Amino acid sequence: MISLAGRDILHSWGKYAFTGVGLGLLIGVTLSMAGIYRGMVDDGKALLTNSGADLWVVQQDTLGPYAEPSSLRDDLYRSLLGLPDVQRAANVAYLTLQVQIADQEVRVMLVGIRPGEPGEPRYLIAGRPLERAHYEAVADVKTGFRLGDAIQIRRHRYTVVGLTQRMVSASGDPMVFIPLRDAQEVQFLKDNDALRNERVRVLANPVLNRPGVPGLAETLSRSQESSRMVNAVLVQVTPGTDAETVAESIRRWKHLQAYTRPQMEEILIAKLIATSAKQIGVFLVILAIVSAAIVSFIIYTMTLGKLREIAVLKLIGARNRTIAGMILQEALGLGLIGFMVGKTVATLWAPYFPKYVLLEPGDAVRGLFAVLLICAVASIVAIRTALRVDPATAIGG
């Protein structure tokens, strides 16, 4: 038996192809939405992998350092190093802010690290790691910075000495690594006006500036001029050690919160990007409905244009399943063309998205089946219309 659907498609291939391209653009947007979600998840995992930590130690009762603010004293890491099975521990500070370069501003996640310790970028694609104690930066290429660029962060200018890749925050902001001490100042140190104001307040406070207790107010003021806080301590455990056991020990004896890698993944993926994921999910559902409506309308219109031929087919003895099969195959063909166009355009325009778009082959396969299912469902109205056609209409009268 010849393929009636195939012949019909070839007969009106122009209309069919243009419709397929239109549908394909819609499918491309759908695949990109799924890719954005996958990219967010992958960014989160990359963030954890690149930090090189087995445990994230943060302020008690917080989900820090990525999902909630967390503050720890910067000498805590020493006591963590004293715990059994803790191989390395390093302070880190995280802060999302606008960084200025020339006349432009870039939103970045600033990361304060100690060179050579957990938290520093694992590899560079250009330049060198941080070596000096101050005013150097290693930036992710997505910032658009180049080696030698001078970037303004708060009061100071930093020179970009290295470039790295795939180092972004959970929300997709590219990272800029600077020495820990600088990051602490950026995050916690108040500006001069605030410091003067605070000093005056302390001196004016009779409780803090009491006669007979010289130096108290002065000491208090000095303590506010320097920052000894960090956001988290990244811990590497001895190879072969169960990270959860060490985490439990930290929770119990140090009164801190310690998260293992799976727990941090849960925080990043299930909590931090949950709202975005739901947002994307709603978009996907809407796009699926719109696609179904479009395919349904197109197939229905194409069927209406063939009612006379369908009546003739029925009159000369075509089975209902032959006619239904023709319409279904045309709908599936439209979906197939749409999917191929959609996959192609999604791949082509993915690099132009500001956020990482990860188009997974598994998602593509699932998308293909979803498109075919939608097309099959969308053809039902047209099939019902075709099957209701009375073969007598071909005779007339």
Partner 1 sequence: MSATPASPPAIEVADLRKRYGSGDTAVDALKGVDLSVQPGEVIGLIGPSGSGKSTLLKCLGAVTEPSSGQIVLSGETVYAGGWRNIDPRALRRDRIGFVFQAPYLIPFLDVTDNVALPLLLAGRSNREARQRARELLAALDVDHRAQAAITQLSGGEQQRVAIARALANQPPIILADEPTAPLDSERALAVVRILNRMAQQYRTAIIVVTHDEKIIPTFKRLYHIRDGKTYQEAGEGRDIG
**Dist CA 243 CA 236 (whole Å):** 9
Alpha carbons 31 and 27: distance in angstroms, whole number: 6
Pick one of 315, 358, 376, 387: the residue that binds partner 1 (CB under 8 A). Answer: 315
CA–CA dist 94, 187 (Å, integer) = 8
Q: Is the dihedral of CA 74, 91, 62, 94 positive or negative?
A: positive
Whether 34 contacts 339, CB under 8 Å: no
Which of 319, 321, 366, 384 forms a contact with partner 1 (CB under 8 A)?
Answer: 319
- Residue span binding partner 1 (CB under 8 A) among the ranges 4-12, 174-182, 249-257, 364-372: 4-12
CA angle 164/168/169 to nearest 5° reads: 150
Residue 281 three-state SS: helix
- Whether the CB-CB separation of 16 and 337 falls below 8 Å is answered with yes
Smaller CB distance to partner 1: residue 4 or 48? 4
**Shortest Cβ 294–partner 1 spacing (Å):** 22
Residue from 11, 156, 228, 384 touching partner 1 (CB under 8 A): that is 11
Segment interacting with partner 1 (CB under 8 A) among 112-120, 180-188, 315-323, 332-340: 315-323
In the complex, minimum distance from the CB of residue 17 to partner 1, in angstroms, rounded to a whole number:
15
Cα atoms in the Cβ-side hemisphere of radius 13 Å centred on 261: 15
Is 321 one of the binding residues for partner 1 (CB under 8 A)?
A: no
Interface with partner 1, residue 12, by CB under 8 A:
yes
Among 201, 308, 321, 384, binds partner 1 (CB under 8 A): 308
Q: Is 1 one of the binding residues for partner 1 (CB under 8 A)?
A: yes
C-beta of 322: minimal distance to partner 1 in Å? 7
CA distances from 184 to 60, 92, 152, 172, 226 (A): 20, 9, 16, 22, 9
Residue of 322, 353, 354, 366 that binds partner 1 (CB under 8 A) = 322
Among 200, 285, 377, 392, binds partner 1 (CB under 8 A): 392
Token pair in block for residue 326: 């023709």
Task: Catalog residues that contact partner 1 under the rule CB under 8 A.
Answer: 1-2, 4, 7-8, 10-12, 308-309, 312-319, 322, 390-392, 394-397
